[in-house]
Amino acid sequence: MSAAESYRRLLAHLAEAQTLASCASALEWDQETAMPPKAAAFRAEEMGLLARLVHERVTHPSVGAWLADCEADPALAADEDAAANLRELRRDFERATRLPSSLVAEMSETSSRAMEVWKEARQKSDFALFSPWLHKQIALHRQEAACYGTPEGGEPYDALLEGYEPGMRSTALERIFAPLREAIVSLLARIGEAPRKPDTALQRARFPVPAQRAFSRFIADRLGYDFEAGRLDESAHPFTSGMGPGDTRITTRYTEDRFLDALSSTMHEVGHALYEQGLPKSERWGQPLSEACSLGVHESQSRLWENQVGRSRAFWAWALPEARRHLGGELDRHGLDEVVGCANAVEASLIRVDADEVTYNLHVMLRFDLERALLRGDLEAGDVPEAWNARMRSDLGLTVPDDARGCLQDVHWSNGLIGYFPTYTLGNLYAAQLWEAAGAAMPGLADDVAQGRFAGLLAWLREHVHRHGRRWRAPELCRKVTGQALAHGPLVRYLEEKLRPVYGF
């Protein structure tokens, strides 16, 4: 068989696997938005079966053989598209085939049991209950990391991080996180001593859910989300599912007295969805070139629309009259300064998912440091609460009243997402750096936003980020688009510039 033929078969085979995986995405979306409760057990069986069929396909020995054929071919190596696909497919194949199925089964079983225990432990705020399960999760993830092998220039943690942020290393993160942390602590000090505080009363004003729903749809549409290729629904935890060509769905959630949160959720998911809608899925289904670059890059798209756009003064100059039109009365009594202040208020708090744009990153770094220490063996699972609480005190000046509001707050460790947290702050960093580059490339960007025109920004992101899929790893994509390696500077500058007028420091 010619290498070209091997390549064709490889892609066809993987496109089919991807189509099966996409069926699972559709069922998952259904599970979160529509499925009746008594269907849960059977749905788990369906998902298990689809996962097994996908895994069988992506780890099939033919994949290895086709890959080897292709890799030996100079013509494919010289073809930029093919070379990028093959590089990423080799990586995926290696990762998919390195774990023994016994370990996969044990991890999956452990995660579902640990999740149950975690729910109870969090509810009772009883860390002792969860401690042995955290211990077991760490042990299993050390095994997992050992199977993958430590990436070049890395440590065991990197083998897990690599699953979410290919090409990223923890030492590289450390080099960015350290000055970022310093800058944030200094920023928080200035905010603490600032002469002004934003009036946040509006955060609790009540607006009927149907009106909020209409406003969210209006904003999503104006940002460029294609409703003909998607839906906006509601779920307990907002999410985006880019389930296939022409089908990228988002959810949000509305609470009467939290309209800014609902809007942020919507804009966040719209950001994810615009990325999914911008990937060349129709043309390259099943190829890495049509897949998201990394979780960090994905998060950068959601954060850019949620924060750089959605919390900007320019955005609200346009959006406030629109919000008044949709939400009515109450908003007439609040001016632009107040809304912008409200959307950008900074205050240290215990819970990551409720955190503001600044302190959020401290929550993430805390988890990153503890995870690394756990994996290295420098920290025992049982000592996590103490380490957590000490860090909350030193970083955020807060006393953790109980573990439910401390180290038991997040689902990640129970369901086995270890190495995942850094991608949240990576998202913020990439977003700020991309936003700076977009601003440099489009001097009229703020004016556009202030007039509700987002097509230019979206086109720029499509051109520079979305359409490339996994052509380059995230660090390289960042250098190509912004001219610089990822650094803390843009995020710090962005936060300072935005918060200065709000707090008057």
Positions that interact with a second copy (CB under 8 A): 16, 19-20, 22-23, 26-27, 30, 34-43, 45-46, 49-50, 53, 226-231, 244-247, 249, 285
Q: Which is nearer to a second copy, 266 or 312 (CB)?
A: 266
Concerning whether 269 is annotated as a catalytic residue, the answer is: yes
Q: Which of the following is catalytic: 269, 291, 357, 436?
A: 269
Q: Which is nearer to a second copy, 17 or 404 (CB)?
A: 17
Q: CB of residue 217 vs a second copy: minimum separation in angstroms?
A: 14
Q: Which long-range contacts (CB under 8 A, 24 or more apart) does 246-253 make?
A: 246/282, 247/26, 248/273, 248/276, 248/277, 249/29, 249/273, 250/220, 250/225, 251/32, 251/33, 252/216
Q: CB of residue 212 vs a second copy: minimum separation in angstroms?
A: 19
Q: Which is nearer to a second copy, 43 or 98 (CB)?
A: 43
- Report the distance separating Cα 218 and Cα 266, nearest Å: 11
244: closest CA among 284, 205, 188, 216? 284
Q: CB of residue 246 vs a second copy: minimum separation in angstroms?
A: 4
Instruction: Look up residue 201 and give its DSSP letter.
Output: G
Q: Which is nearer to a second copy, 22 or 300 (CB)?
A: 22
Q: CB of residue 227 vs a second copy: minimum separation in angstroms?
A: 7
- Report the distance separating Cα 252 and Cα 234, nearest Å: 5
Q: Which is nearer to a second copy, 67 or 273 (CB)?
A: 273
Q: CB of residue 428 vs a second copy: minimum separation in angstroms?
A: 30
Q: Which is nearer to a second copy, 245 or 452 (CB)?
A: 245
CB-CB neighbours of 348 under 10 Å? 18
Q: CB of residue 470 vs a second copy: minimum separation in angstroms?
A: 20
- 3-class SS of residue 82: helix
Per 3-state DSSP, the chain is made up of helix, strand and coil in percentages (nearest 5) of: 70, 5, 25
Q: Which long-range contacts (CB under 8 A, 24 or more apart) does 141-149 make?
A: 141/375, 141/416, 141/418, 141/419, 142/375, 143/103, 144/99, 144/103, 144/107, 145/375, 147/98, 147/99, 147/100, 147/103, 148/95, 148/98, 148/99, 149/98
Residues known to be catalytic: 269
